[in-house]
Each structure stands twice: as structure tokens, then as C-alpha cells.
Structure 1
Amino acid sequence: MPVRIIAAHAKITFFVVGIPVILTAGWSMGIAVGGAIGITLSSVLAVALLVVAGRTFRGAGEPILPPRAWWRLTAGPVAGFVVAVLFALSGIGSAISGVGSDGSAALTVWVVVFDFAVAAAYANSSTRLLSSAA
């Protein structure tokens, strides 16, 4: 039987533990070999965290056993739109402030593109959920 995370407290714990692990790994690599590598590692780990969450989390009333459609990231459209807005705001903030203490434009572009790509994935998921409900 596939692993499924259903309880809200387990979902919160997943991110409360996962996000510091990502930040610590990125920060450590940034210090050891450079900021761009740290940001890249953090991005790869963040994608892994989001993919695992999208594949294993289940909402109330959502079937537990079958896998979700490849595009589906949340149980319902509202949650996906909220996450999309948060990532879009993060991208906007990164674009305005610049990322990285060395002022690297490429690093800023990478972070902004990453944030907007994740926002687009969640917005797409929610839009498709709304379409399939109609």
C-alpha cells in the first residue's frame, strides 16, 4: 500500500521539518562552495519536498489508494491557489530585493523563475480541479 499523509498535523510536521532541512543544506553548501550551488541545492530539495507532498498528501474525501493525476498537487482548488499566490509573492519579493549577498543577477533570475514555475504549477492544478468539478 502506498504511503499517504492524511492528518493535518502530519502535513504540518512534514513542512516544519522539511523546510529547515532544505535551508540548512542550502546554507551549508553556500558557505562550503558558493552561493549559487547552495541556492541550486535548495531548489532541487524544495522540488523534491513539493513532489513528495503532492504525491502523498490526501484531503478529506479524496481517494487514498489510487495515485493522483500527474498535474494534481492539492486536494482542492483553494489550497492550490493559496500556495500559488505565496510562491508568486516570494518571486516578486526576490525580484524586487535581489537574491544573494554577492548581487548575482543570474542567481536572482533563477530564484524568481523557480518561484513562478512552482506558482504556475499550483495555479494550473487548481484551475484544472475547478474545470473538472464543473
Structure 2
Amino acid sequence: MEKAPAFRIVRWELKVLYIVVAWIVGYALADLLSRLGTPGVALEIVNTLLNLAAFAIAVRIFRGRDEAIDPPRAWWRMTAWPTLSRRLGILFAVFAAMSLLSLSLTVAGVTELPGGATIGLMIGAALQFAAFAFLYLNSAARMARLGIAKPERLRPTIRLT
């Protein structure tokens, strides 16, 4: 019996669609649970777990152009190429720092919580951003160490039809 082909997303448009749908599903579930009277802490835990699950699935099924489709990625590999991992790692590190700064200013009484946010939600966001930064930067460092590099001929093709 032949093994079924692996489900992978290569086109950037479909990757964006996946992210948008995952965000909408998370928002809709949180809204539903909120309307059902679920305590805030439980909402934050469910939201965090859903975000992490969507992220973990995306990392496994997204593929870069010229990246092998069938074999699973190494557990530590977050993107196809080290440059993208490094850029995303830096972006998430900036988000983590901004979250920590916002949290610090709120705790110090300088600013107020953004609408609908709680201290727990802000801590959870900062931890998620920091974890993502670590994972992406670790991925970039390992790929660079192994000599994995983006082929020079890669250029996005834009199709209007």
C-alpha cells in the first residue's frame, strides 16, 4: 500500500490564508467562550493553546520554494531558509520587548491596560513572543551552522491571473 502524499503549503498566498483563518477561528472561539461565561483565565489559556497549536501546525506544513516537500522538517527547523528565520526571530524579539515594556509601564501605573486586556494576557503574549523569537533564532543559527542557504535564483513570481 502506497503512503499518501504529505499535506504542504508552498504558495505564499495560501500561507497568508492559513494565518488569517487560524486567527479568525481563535477569535471566534474566544468570543463564543466569553459569551458562555467562561472565566478570563480559562479564556487566556484556551487562546494561548490554540495559538500555539496553529503555529506548530504551520511550521510543519509550510514549505519554501525549492525545499523538499515529502520529508518532515527537523523538529528545530522553523522556516526554509536561515535569513527568514533570523528576520522572524528578530521581529518576535521586538514584539516580546514591546510587550514587556507595556506590561512594565502598566504595572508601574504609567499607562492603563489596553481595552479588554488583562495582566495575564499581557504576560502570556510576552512569553509567546519570547518563545517564538527563541525558536526562530535557534533555527537560523542551526541552519547557518549546517550550511543550509537560500538558493540565489529564488525570486517571487507575481501572477495576476
TM-score range, shorter chain: 0.7 to 0.9
Structure 1 vs Structure 2: percent identity of aligned residues? 28
Within 1, Cα distance between the matches of 2:32 and 2:99? 21
Report the 3-state secondary structure (helix = DSSP H, G, I; strand = E; otherwise coil) of the residue aligned with 2:43. Answer: helix
Contact 1:22 1:46 in 2 (8 A): yes
Bigger Rg, which one: 2
Backbone CA RMSD of aligned residues: 2.3
After TM superposition, the score normalised by the length of structure 1 is 0.84
Q: Give the helix-richer structure, 1 or 2.
A: 1
| Distance change >3 Å, CA 37–CA 87, structure 1 → 2 | farther
2:122 to 95, 99, 108: 108
Contact 1:29 1:37 in 2 (8 A): no
Within 2, Cα distance between the matches of 1:117 and 1:38? 20
Structure 1 residue runs of 5 or longer lacking an equivalent are none
Runs of 4 or more consecutive aligned structure 1 residues displaced over 6 Å after TM superposition: none
Aligned pair 1:64/2:69, yes or no? yes
Within 2, Cα distance between the matches of 1:33 and 1:114? 22
| Distance change >3 Å, CA 34–CA 132, structure 1 → 2 | same
Structure 2 residue runs of 5 or longer lacking an equivalent are 104-112, 149-161
Deviations 1:54-99 (A, max 9, x none): 1111111111111111111100112212222232222222222236
2:26 to 18, 22, 26: 22
State the AA in 1 paired with 2:22. G
Aligned length: 134
Within 2, Cα distance between the matches of 1:33 and 1:111? 20
After TM superposition, the score normalised by the length of structure 2 is 0.72
